[in-house]
Structure 1
Amino acid sequence: MSLHGTYDSENVFAKILRGQIPSVPVWEDDHVLVFMDAFPQSEGHTLVISKASTARNILEVEADTLATLTAAVQRTARAIDKALAPDGMVVTQFNGAPAGQTVFHLHFHIIPRWEAKTMAGHGQGMADPEQLKATAERIRAVLV
């Protein structure tokens, strides 16, 4: 898919928001859902999405929604830092299939990095759900 198109209400994140597909939530409020990536690139890889916006990418998102999402990204990144003590962190957001976007619902990735650990490729290898739940609990326990 390109940068331009129509929102597909059957995308995996829309289904997660409707409760049709399970996820491992870290936290949520009225505006955002933060959950563990089922195909993590490293321990603690989380995704941040809007619960209301149907923006497919950063070009389409409303300014107030983008502000809310970035605040949620920062809050989550701070909790990941406290809970997991990574050496670094990648915060990324893809726009269009040629840029690596695979789910066309605007989302941000927060990927903890450690110097001695190799990061897995994007969307490779499904994680153990129990491990995701344990990591989510560690992050949730230090949210401010």
Structure 2
Amino acid sequence: MTVFTEIIEGRAPASKVYEDDDVLAFMDIRPFTPGHLLVIPKTPASSLAELDPVIGGKLFQVGQRLAAAMRASEVGCDGVNFFLADGVAAGQEVFHVHLHVIPRTSGDGFGLRGRPTHPRRPDLDYLAGSIRGALERQS
């Protein structure tokens, strides 16, 4: 059981913004920027592999609505980032899938810190083929 399960069950506090039968959105208690929200499925899934694809789509649909609401609210952001960490190596800390909806303004200090690489086309083609093959095996 995670803190998100406790929030869903009403045993832990949360500043809720949106709720329906499938998802819940609430303020992040460790926000990167003011207005930072989390959107979670009500049915626990520790990873994307365990998440019902329909519910996964709904996370992003709700996130899209919340992003528009942020822009129209006192948050008043100029942009929005969506972030979802899947696995320890990706930075996941709570093992209940959650979509971060992060309002952005110029100079807010939040952003990606990595540096893009510059692979050669044959390397890109090779990895694309490997991923395509894995997709075909899933069918």
Shorter-chain TM-score bucket reads 0.7 to 0.9
Paired letter, 1:88: G
Inter-partner Cα distance in structure 1 for 2:18 and 2:110: 24
Compute the RMSD of aligned alpha carbons.
1.4
Inter-partner Cα distance in structure 2 for 1:16 and 1:92: 20
Query: Which structure has more helix as a fraction of its residues?
Result: 2
Structure 1 match to 2:45: 55
What SS is found at the alignment partner of 2:49? coil
Q: How many residues align?
A: 110
Task: Give unmatched runs, 5+ long, in structure 2.
Answer: 112-139
Moved more, 61-70 or 34-43: 61-70
Inter-partner Cα distance in structure 2 for 1:116 and 1:65: 34
Structure 1 match to 2:108: 117
Inter-partner Cα distance in structure 2 for 1:18 and 1:64: 22
Aligned pairs for 1:1-144 (under 5 A) are 10-51=1-42, 53-83=43-73, 84-119=75-110
Inter-partner Cα distance in structure 2 for 1:95 and 1:23: 23
Larger Rg: 2
Give the structure-2-normalised TM-score.
0.74
Higher relative contact order, chain-length normalized (CA < 8 Å, sep 6+): 1
Q: Percent identity?
A: 38
Moved over 4 A (4+): none
Inter-partner Cα distance in structure 2 for 1:30 and 1:70: 15
What SS is found at the alignment partner of 2:48? coil
Inter-partner Cα distance in structure 2 for 1:56 and 1:114: 31
Shift of 1:64: 1.3
Give the structure-1-normalised TM-score.
0.71
